[in-house]
Chains A and B, each alone.
Chain A
Amino acid sequence: MTSLVDSVAARNATVEEELARRGIDRREFFKLCGAIASLMALPAGAAEQLAAAVAKARRPSVIWLSFQECTGCTEALTRSHSPSLESLIFDLISLDYHHTLQAASGDAAEAAREAAMKENAGKYLVVVDGSIPLGNPGYSTIAGVSNIETLKEVVAGAAAVIAMGTCAAYGGLPAAQPNPTGAVAIRDLIKDKPVVNIPGCPPIPIVMTGVIAHYLAFGALPELDGLGRPKAFYGETIHDRCYRRPFYDQGKFAETFDDEGARRGWCLFKLGCKGPVTYNACATSKWNGGVSFPIQSGHGCIGCSEPNFWDAGGFYNALSMPAHPLNVGAGIAAAGAAAGVAVTFFNRGKKGAAKAGHETTTLDDLEK
């Protein structure tokens, strides 16, 4: 009974009340708001306003749907360095349904989802990780219901949808060629609700926290770019903000993963880094509590937050190199030579004909 009362109280609590109930230091909360404001490039003083607005907001009900995915997105959120700013996301929201995290299972789990949908109709947020298979509904089901049916049913009463991770945002790995399940992104299916894409494989946890904090503080989703990503986090490329960028500008590149250049931390462009074409906040927010990010640990960016990055050429091919092995071979050269010889024969034939047709001019001709 006590837990039920707690649960109801928690569901109706504001963020501030929930933080207090959990005994979380307000300093941590202000740090979170400061980090978000900074990452979103909000003006000075905005952190305080953000904190005040978020603290007073009622925690939104969130239904988390997992479709064709690997659970990496959830892992990124829950397994990050703890206690972390990112982990506070669970204090900003009321997570009412999540396969992996909820204690309930089977009918009880589905009942929790339905109850949350009914109670918060028109107001709850739907977070989706994973793509939707259209090839055959049986490729991925939950409680015997196809992903597309579940998605449409749950999204019908939602305020907005957050496509978490590259699979939900752009199809991701399941949609990579030859896309055997006919996987599509959430935005391909949901046209009548706002959909925010938070791509990444996995996405950066604080980006999701930022989107929710923005929603709580300003009552609206952040401004999005053409690919449905919040501009505040995806406005610049990894390359723009990479600490190795000066080496790129100086023309200093690691040629292999264990050469002198690699040891000196030179640019990884020639080793296939996709930082120049990848829009994400990894280089600024970093991972694991701000410890590092892939380029810092010595591996080029693979471009995991871009659409179709799996099929964008090899991870180890520099952007200026061919994406796939070329097949311009001796056949082409032979065809060129054959064309050249044929044209030469034609030209010589014309020349020969002109020579043969030449008539000697006589004095009589000139007098005509």
Chain B
Amino acid sequence: MDQLQFLTWVRGTGLNLTLAIFVLGVIWRLIEIYGLGRKQDLSAPRDVAGASGWHTIYRRSIPPPGMLKLSPVSYIGGYVFHVGLAVVVFLFAPHIALVASLLGPTWPGLPSQVVDFVSVVTMAAMVAVLADRITKPAKRFLSTFGDWFTWTLTFLPLLSGWLAVHHLLLPYTLMLALHILSVELLLIFLPFTKLFHAFTTFGSRWFNGAVNGHKGVPV
């Protein structure tokens, strides 16, 4: 298999397999998680200002008082890399072309130099949060294989995409194929790892907020 054949495979058979596993996995996990159900709370609801699912979605998107100073890398690094990742994934023209070809909708992209800059900042932020996780004993203690694995799965597409665009390390054709393969690995594992928070973050925040709100506790 030469480089172009490898690229064609990841754009064809590989993509097909990936999307099949991804779609199957996402539907499976969503039904599984929301199908767990919760016991009905028969107590009378207590109305307290700021205690609801929607409030919690917002509140947990910003650092609690004092936490930004205590753990700046987690918050700033986390924000930068999540926003950066969204920009790189959804505002780079070739990525938009892929979504348009798969689903139909299209939208304007950003100039590739801007995406290039954002991807470098995003990678730097990811390296910073990784270093923070390694150097802080408590974080290191709490980290499991899943944390290191999902960090790698997220970082590789960024790195390989950036290397491909800049024609570094390997011929563009091979690097592009590796980039697409790394994205496929990310999509394959997404439903079955912590990465599934992409689908559940806001739902679970709402749920926690609603349960506690019923008891009159703003969380």
Contact = CB atoms under 8 A, between A and B. Distances in A.
Nearest to A343: B32
Contacts of B109: 251
B109 to A, nearest CB: 5
A321 interface: yes
B37 interface: yes
A166 B173 CA distance: 18
Contacts of B167: 237, 240
Contacts, number: 134
Interface string A95-125: 0000000000000000000000000000000
A344 B31 contact: yes
Contact of B28 (A270, A313, A340): A340
A64 interface: no
A319 B11 CA distance: 8
Interface residues of A, number: 45
19 contacts: A248-B112, A249-B111, A277-B7, A277-B172, A307-B2, A308-B2, A312-B4, A312-B5, A320-B94, A323-B8, A324-B12, A332-B20, A336-B23, A336-B31, A339-B27, A339-B28, A340-B28, A343-B35, A347-B36
B11 A321 contact: yes
Interface residues on B, range: 35 or more
B40 interface: no
Interface of B: 2, 4-5, 7-8, 11-13, 15-16, 19-20, 23-32, 35-37, 93-95, 97-98, 101-102, 108-113, 167, 171-173, 176
Nearest to A327: B16
A313 B111 contact: no
B33 to A, nearest CB: 9
B2 A249 contact: no
Contacts of A29: none
Which has the most chain B C-beta neighbours within 10 Å: A240, A320, A322, A341? Answer: A320
A335 interface: yes
Contacts of B15: 322-323, 326
Nearest to A227: B2
